[in-house]
Amino acid sequence: MFTGIVECKGRVVEFKSLDNTESGGSGASLTIADAKDILGDCHLGDSIAINGTCLTVTEFSSDEFKVGLAPETLSRTNLGQLQPGDHVNLERALAAGHRFGGHFVQGHIDTTAEIIEITPDANSIWYKLRVADKKLMPYIIPKGFIALDGTSLTVCDVNDDDQ
């Protein structure tokens, strides 16, 4: 579980569609750098959200870590399209017994969304999104929440006509 509050930004070092190393597991993998702020208490097998997607650490150093990407993850996210140098949002999994802000975010991605409009409003910003999988619209409700690239956002309005 995550909060949807980004802890730091990381940088993509490498995406491999076929990683035959031991830590790559003969599948796709993603290596992220500039992650020192969240790796001090990291262990193999820990969960880290990359752009809101819960992924398992398969290798790490003091500043970099690698995760495996399952075919399901690649089909429901844009992680396979990331390029070296791209920045990503990072968050460690919640620790039991600690306070947290934000929402309970699972990190299990259902679909992607396109930002179609950004409107400043006093001290906030309204994002108008178009959800890729329209079958999910009945589950998006006012005062509920969604996560966009790992950032938890409160839903203020739903317009099924715009979808």
Catalytic amino acids?
2, 47, 54, 56, 70, 108, 154
* DSSP calls for 34-99: S-HHHHTT--TT-EEEETTEEEEEEEE-SS-EEEEE-HHHHHHSSGGG--TT-EEEEEEPPPTTS-
Q: What value does the CA radius of gyration of the chain take, rounded to a whole number of Å?
A: 16
Number of neighbours of residue 15 by Cβ within 10 angstroms: 19
